[in-house]
A and B are shown apart, each in its own frame.
Chain A
Amino acid sequence: MSAITNAAATVLAQADVAEQTADEAKSISAASGAGMAYGLAAIGPGIGIGYLVGQAVQAMARQPESAGQVQTTMFLGIAFTEALALIGFVVFILLKFV
């Protein structure tokens, strides 16, 4: 993170026009913030969906006759878990493309 902000500082130092400097700093900090937002938001749901699907597969392997019901519940769970990652993605878009 400090490397990125350092880079931003370098850009700040090198740029001639004040307006251009502000734009560059803005876009760089926005890009780094966006990247971090999405990267952090992807961790939890990644673990969660992996665990959820693993358990669902186990349940289906134990009781193949109830596979349909388990599948529906699994999709519901994925939808709820995935929402967190998607909100991270939306924040990414919000930050990146102001």
Chain B
Amino acid sequence: MFLASLAALASEVAESDPTDINPVVPDEIGEIFWGAIAFFGLWILMRYVLLPPLLKIRADRRNQEIADQQAASAADEQAEQVRRDYEATVAEANSEANDIIAEARAAAEHERGEIVVAAESEIALERQAALAELESQRSSAVSGLGDDVADLAVAAASKVMDASLDEPVHRSTAANYVEDAR
């Protein structure tokens, strides 16, 4: 029954009023006409008028970018060169400074050696002088001591001579003498 009604519908469609055309069908030729004019007009304008300046600017910008990139890499290269030069100069200065330092150090070492040698010889001289003085002092002291001993012996002998010759007296005399001599 459904199919039958569809068939009836189909026959109805076939003989329906031509003014009542389905909205799907592009029945208005004017719409296609003006639409085609608009679209082809826009296409031609895009091709020859609208796009070329912007595409040209884009290409220019791309070229500029490439050129700028190359300039930047060149500048990089240059900077690298300058850096290398600078480093070389610094290295040179460093080695020079090292030389100067080594020279100065050697000179200082030399001077120090001289000073040390001079000081040592002076010290040796002073020590010899001191030793000599010491020796002379000691010899003079020894000779002085000999005189003293002789005096003491003379004094002791005179004491012995003066006192009686008994034993205890000698002993006490000697003790006194030693006591005195202390």
Q: Touching in the complex, A and B, CB below 8 A?
A: yes
Q: B-facing mask of A83-98, CB < 8 A → 1, else 0?
A: 0000000100111011
Question: Knowing A1-B2, A5-B1, A98-B16 touch, does A29 contact B22 (C-beta < 8 A)?
Answer: no
B22 touches A97 (CB 8 A): yes
B2 touches A93 (CB 8 A): no
Interface residue tally for chain A (C-beta within 8 Å)? 19
Question: Knowing A94-B24, A97-B23, A98-B16 touch, does A25 contact B1 (C-beta < 8 A)?
Answer: no
Q: List the B side residues contacting A40 at CB < 8 Å.
A: none
Number of A-B contacts (CB under 8 A): 41
Q: Which of A15-44 contact B (CB under 8 A)?
A: 22, 25-26, 28-30, 32-33
* Interface of A (DSSP majority class): helix
Question: Knowing A90-B24, A94-B24 touch, does A5 contact B2 (C-beta < 8 A)?
Answer: yes
Give chain B's interface residue range (CB within 8 Å of chain A): 10 to 19
A6 CB to nearest chain B CB (Å) = 9
Asked if A61 is at the interface of the complex by the 8 Å CB criterion, the answer is no
Q: List the A side residues contacting B158 at CB < 8 Å.
A: none
Asked if A79 is at the interface of the complex by the 8 Å CB criterion, the answer is no
Give A contacts to B, CB under 8 Å: 1, 4-5, 8-9, 22, 25-26, 28-30, 32-33, 90, 93-95, 97-98
